[in-house]
Amino acid sequence: MPQIKILPSDLRNKIAAGEVVERPASVAKELIENSIDAGSTDIRIDVLYGGKRLIRVSDDGTGMDREDALLCFERHATSKLSSEGDLFNIRTMGFRGEALPSITSVSKIKLVTGIKSAPSGISVEINGGEVKEIKDFPAIGTTVEVRDLFFNTPARKKFLKSNSTELFHIIDMVTKEALSHWEIGFRLTSDNKETISLPSASGIKERIMQVYGEEFLEGLIEANAEADGISMKSYVSRGNNFRNMKSHQFVFINNRPIRDLSVSHAVYSAYEGILPRDKHPIFFLFLDINPAKIDVNVHPTKREVRFENKETIYRFVNISIKEAVKSERSEYTRQFTEMPETVASQTVHGTYSPPYHFPFPVHESGVSENLELSYRPSLPFVYLGDTFVALSGKGGLTLIDHHAANERILYEKFLKGINLNAHRLLFPKQVKLSHKEYRVILENLQILGDFGIEIDDFGHETVIVRSLPDVLKEADMRGILSDVASCIIEGVSPDKSFKEALAARIACHSSVRGREILSREEISTLVTDLEQTEHPDQCPHGRPTRIFYSLDDLKKMFKRK
Ligand code: ADP
Ligand code: MG
């Protein structure tokens, strides 16, 4: 008796759906990409319950005639390919003819579509692959409604996350499509509330600004290049604008959002030497490559591509960004090396300018062997570079990373909620966030309040910061809120509490930035405050804040012992 049988088409479709339809966001992606391919200028997306109950995508594109409207639900039915040659010259978002049949097999779908030249359009309703109703319906353009995703595959439905998590995935996806199709207007409502509203933009730059705001854009430089049949337009981090999370990294190839480790690596490597450890650049890369040189048919949801020549792309991206960063960097280093006279004398030659009086003789080393000194305000110090401070005292030499030290101090202050000195701002700050960040921040106002950050909703993805702890007065609020939001979305590692993770994030922003040189008083306050923390030797990320060499250690190092 034969063991092998051909599966019925219903089951085949469900299996295929497993690849394409992972969650509501994947349905929305396929429908939006169909609308893009149909030449739409306006795309509207409505979702209910994180897309679990409804995902509706309406467009003003070409629409379909009656025959196509029935054919489009068939597997491998597409208007975008006709020969094998086409497969290597793909300029459309879709081409596999799989999305609609896959979605149809695991949901209740209704298609209403019509073309301009026909007197009437058509409405087709299908439940779990079974046709329910076909009738004439007035329409120009296309609307696809997908209800009750996975209603007939409970095993898959179980894997769906909370409504708000599913909505975040949808927001992310709409944002990606909107970034690479700036000429199209996008609107997303969730549970009847407007969530994204992006009118047609004049270019990528305007679209990034619509999504993230002007301040965000100011932290980026433009890097454009063209060579060997590849061209790139990109917006990437300035040399001093890095993030704690990888949340703003996008690669688009021929307008298709993709993930590619090698391209990301090329960007990171362009920042070699200036990218601090544990920090991440922001990048928006829009690459245009001859479709014959790439294979987009490697992943069912088309989120990966294969390059004919990977190294060429790597080098191209790497060099183009390196050049842009370098020219911006030269400006940065110039500011650095031309330090004002007063600061330079204080930091390079160290220490000894009146009116400070030192209670002990100051030698070259500043360390007195027979005095068990504790740190005190007038202790001499030397700046080493822009981050390290060398101090004598306690019978030895202490090297302090003043950035890390400050982070430790602030972290504990935030965690305990003490001495934060929150003040109402005379001029409240408006901060424009991305849609996703905006929602997360509004859902977590209380916890920010515990850190002395008082925020109100200002509408249109903007919040208004009314109160801040003193230490955050100068801080980049957009960066903080964006980091806090990613931290909440991505969750915290099990060994940390939520509050600890957020406190570490915020402390990192508020502490002294690399380029700032501290005054003598600030150093002594820093040293005293550090001493009073619970873990003075490590910053919240586990890096050392200070390293101590006793005279004994030094003697050993110099082979005197
Ligand atoms: P693919 O996009 O890979 O061709 P789909 O299953 O997503 O496959 O869609 C099948 C076909 O249905 C498309 O090739 C297109 O001709 C038609 N179609 C789908 N959505 C739309 C739309 N919004 N407007 C016009 N035509 C559409
Ligand atoms: Mg498609």
> DSSP strand E in 351-461: where?
381-384, 388-393, 396-401, 422-432, 454-457
Which ligand does the CA of 96 lie closest to? 1
CA distance 28 to 196: 14
Single-letter amino acid, residue 435: H
Å from CA of 93 to ligand 1 middle: 10
CA distance 95 to 34: 10
Å from CA of 21 to ligand 2 middle: 12
- Which tokens hold the place of 479? 């960066």
> Which residues face 123 on adjacent strands?
112, 135
Above pLDDT 90, what percent of the chain? Answer: 44
- Which tokens hold the place of 119? 């007197």
CA distance 455 to 441: 9
Spatial strand order in the sheet of 220-227: 220-227, 230-237, 283-289, 249-253, 256-258
pLDDT band at 505 (very low <50, low <70, confident <90, very high): confident
- Nearest partner of 516 among 385, 363, 364, judged by Cα: 385
Instruction: Specify the ligand 1 atom closest to the Cα of 81.
Output: 4
Angle, vertex CA 439, rays to CA 437 and CA 443, nearest 5: 115
pLDDT band at 63 (very low <50, low <70, confident <90, very high): very high
Å from CA of 93 to ligand 2 middle: 7
**What confidence tens digit (pLDDT) does each residue in 378-437 have?**
557 788 877 888 887 667 788 888 888 888 888 888 887 776 777 888 888 889 999 889
**H-helix or E-strand containing 133?**
strand 130-137
Å from CA of 525 to ligand 1 middle: 66
Higher-pLDDT residue of 440 and 513 is 440
Above pLDDT 70, what percent of the chain? Answer: 88
Which ligand does the CA of 82 lie closest to? 1
Å from CA of 70 to ligand 1 middle: 11
Q: How many helices (H) and strands (E) does the chain have?
A: 18, 22
Nearest CA to ligand 1 atom 2: 94
Angle, vertex CA 18, rays to CA 14 and CA 19, nearest 5: 125
Å from CA of 99 to ligand 2 middle: 5
**What confidence tens digit (pLDDT) does each residue in 510-550 have?**
655 544 677 777 787 888 888 888 888 888 877 888 888 88
C-alpha count within 13 angstroms, C-beta hemisphere, residue 349: 8
Residue of 26, 27, 34 to test ligand 1 pocket, by largest number of atoms within 8 Å of CB: 34
Å from CA of 294 to ligand 1 middle: 22
Query: How confident is the model at residue 362, as a pLDDT?
Result: 35
Which residues are near ligand 1 (CB < 6 Å)? 30, 34-35, 38, 59, 61-64, 72, 77-80, 94-100, 142
Å from CA of 231 to ligand 2 middle: 26
Mean pLDDT lowest among 122-126, 201-205, 472-476 = 472-476
DSSP-based three-state secondary structure for 239: coil
Instruction: Specify the ligand 1 atom closest to the Cα of 96.
Output: 3
Instruction: Specify the ligand 1 atom closest to the Cα of 101.
Output: 6
- Nearest partner of 483 among 458, 462, 461, 509, judged by Cα: 509
Instruction: Specify the ligand 1 atom closest to the Cα of 30.
Output: 7
CA distance 28 to 146: 9
Which residues 6+ apart lie within 8 Å of 361 measured at CB? 368
Residue of 55, 78, 109 to test ligand 1 pocket, by largest number of atoms within 8 Å of CB: 78
CA-to-CA separations, 500 to 25, 30, 279, 439, 464, in angstroms, rounded = 31, 39, 19, 22, 24
CA distance 486 to 439: 11
How many C-beta atoms surround the C-beta of residue 98 within 10 A?
22
pLDDT band at 229 (very low <50, low <70, confident <90, very high): confident
Angle, vertex CA 239, rays to CA 235 and CA 240, nearest 5: 110
> Which residues face 464 on adjacent strands?
430, 456
Which ligand does the CA of 142 lie closest to? 1
CA distance 99 to 109: 12
Higher-pLDDT residue of 81 and 152 is 152
How many C-beta atoms surround the C-beta of residue 11 within 10 A?
11
Angle, vertex CA 256, rays to CA 147 and CA 163, nearest 5: 30
CA distance 291 to 504: 45
Largest Cα span, the chain = 102
Residue of 79, 111, 142 to test ligand 1 pocket, by largest number of atoms within 8 Å of CB: 79
Instruction: Specify the ligand 1 atom closest to the Cα of 141.
Output: 24
CA dihedral of 178, 183, 189, 195, whole degrees rounded to 10: 60
- Nearest partner of 335 among 235, 240, 401, judged by Cα: 240
CA distance 55 to 170: 10
Higher-pLDDT residue of 277 and 189 is 189
Å from CA of 541 to ligand 2 middle: 45
Å from CA of 155 to ligand 1 middle: 28
CA distance 297 to 92: 12
Phi, psi of 283 (to 5 degrees): -150, 140
CA distance 340 to 343: 6
Residue of 20, 31, 100 to test ligand 1 pocket, by largest number of atoms within 8 Å of CB: 100
CA-to-CA separations, 299 to 20, 192, 404, in angstroms, rounded = 9, 33, 43
Which residues 6+ apart lie within 8 Å of 341 measured at CB? none
CA distance 63 to 30: 16
**What confidence tens digit (pLDDT) does each residue in 75-128 have?**
888 999 888 888 888 889 988 888 999 999 999 999 999 999 988 999 999 999
Nearest CA to ligand 1 atom 13: 78
Nearest CA to ligand 1 atom 8: 97
- Nearest partner of 516 among 400, 387, 346, judged by Cα: 387
Which ligand does the CA of 87 lie closest to? 1
Which ligand does the CA of 99 lie closest to? 1
- Residue written as token pair 């202790």: 379
CA distance 321 to 231: 13
DSSP-based three-state secondary structure for 259: coil
C-alpha count within 13 angstroms, C-beta hemisphere, residue 193: 10
pLDDT band at 551 (very low <50, low <70, confident <90, very high): confident
Å from CA of 29 to ligand 1 middle: 12
Which ligand does the CA of 86 lie closest to? 1
CA distance 81 to 254: 17
Nearest CA to ligand 1 atom 16: 79
Arithmetic mean of pLDDT, 300-322: 90
